[in-house]
Amino acid sequence: MAYWNWDPSYNIGIEEIDNQHKKIVQYINELHEAFVLNDKNIVKNTLFNITEYVISHFSFEEKLMEEAEYPQFMHHKSIHENFVSSIGKYKIAFNEGRDITGQLMAELQIWLTQHILIEDRAYKESVQKMLNSKNTVKKSDKHTWFKKIFN
Ligand SMILES: [Fe+2]
């Protein structure tokens, strides 16, 4: 059984963002599996993957907020930066041989839920408006545009 199941109440209503959040939940579940198996190598790989993914997800969100001229952009960005530095501390602790997996999973879960429900939901309107204005282009082009902004 998964450690954490996605709940539809976490959806903010922007499909690409929701999919990325789901992927983070999936990584947290992988971290839990590694924790249960007590496999340090899988923990290490998952820690690496989750950090990379979270950073790219944050930069994706930031590009959207910036493009949308979201007034709280800088504040939201600083929340992301603090979180990334907090994950970095866990990575250092792990590399020093400390068993941080349980604590990290709990922190990720609490942090992500709060962040999605409060801060991410707050930018939804601005970003959605900006995306709708881009929607005058064809749907297939929108996909390309998403890809372009993500890479
Ligand atoms: Fe965010």
pTM of full prediction above 0.75: yes
Query: Which domains are delineated in the chain?
Result: 14-150 (1.20.120.50)
Span of 25-39, 75-89, 95-109, 125-139 with lowest mean pLDDT: 125-139
**Distance between Cα 138 and ligand 1 center (Å):** 27
Mean pLDDT of the chain: 89
Task: pLDDT band for 150, please (50, 70, 90 cuts).
Answer: low
Q: How confident is the model over 45-68, as pLDDT tens digits? A: 988 999 999 999 999 999 999 999
Q: What is the spatial distance between Cα 7 and Cα 117, in angstroms, rounded to a whole number?
A: 11
**Distance between Cα 17 and ligand 1 center (Å):** 9
**Distance between Cα 103 and ligand 1 center (Å):** 21
> Is the predicted pLDDT of residue 142 greater than 60, yes or no?
no
Q: What is the spatial distance between Cα 23 and Cα 19, in angstroms, rounded to a whole number?
A: 6
Per-residue pLDDT at 111 = 92
User: DSSP string covering 15-43, please?
Assistant: HHHHHHHHHHHHHHHHHHHHHHHT-HHHH
Cα–Cα nearest to 86, from 104, 106, 72: 104
